[in-house]
Amino acid sequence: FWGKDQILTQSGRLLKFKPKENLKLVNIEANRNNIDFVLRYFFELNQILKGSNLVLNKILIEEFDLMTLEDNSGLRFRMNKSKIENQLENLKAFLKSEYFNNIKDTFSYLDLRYQNKGAIGFRD
């Protein structure tokens, strides 16, 4: 789901769409110039989260290279578009770690924008 009233097709077209109540679509908030990026990485992003029993709910791509993924429980993962390949590997490793399994109930966000490091936030 792109914005408030459009859906992104696999061919990269944006079509007008009226959402249905029980239809579960990933909400994408980004400029149109990010369509190719979203099409290229959407499946991989979704699979990485799914592998840890997380459901991708939202992709937010802002200016200045910032991208945020959010799952259906509100967990957020922050990355840079320009360094996505390395950060996806770091995200996979984190989600498969024993550490993540130990903190996942109190975990709020992971910021992967630091080279080979991450910042973790916890719920209050």
CATH number assigned to the domain comprising residue 63: 3.40.50.11690
| Number of domains making up the chain | 1
pLDDT score at 55: 95
pLDDT of residue 47: 96
| 58-96: pLDDT as tens digits | 999 998 899 999 999 999 999 999 999 999 999 999 999
Is residue 107, in this structure, part of any structural domain at all? yes
Q: What is the pTM of this model?
A: 0.88
- In this predicted structure, the answer to whether residue 19 has a pLDDT above a threshold of 80 is no
User: DSSP of 80-105, one letter per residue?
Assistant: EGGGHHHHHHHHHHHHHSHHHHHHTT
Place of tokens 């840079």: 80
Residue 1 forms part of a structural domain: no
User: Given its phi and psi angles, is residue 54 left (phi above 0), alpha (psi -120 to 50 degrees) or beta?
Assistant: beta
Mean pLDDT within 32-56: 94
Q: Give the mean model confidence (pLDDT) for residues 25-34.
A: 92
Asked whether residue 102 is domain-assigned, the answer is yes
Element (H, E) at 118: strand 117-122
Position 80 in a domain? yes
Classify residue 85: in a domain, yes or no. Answer: yes
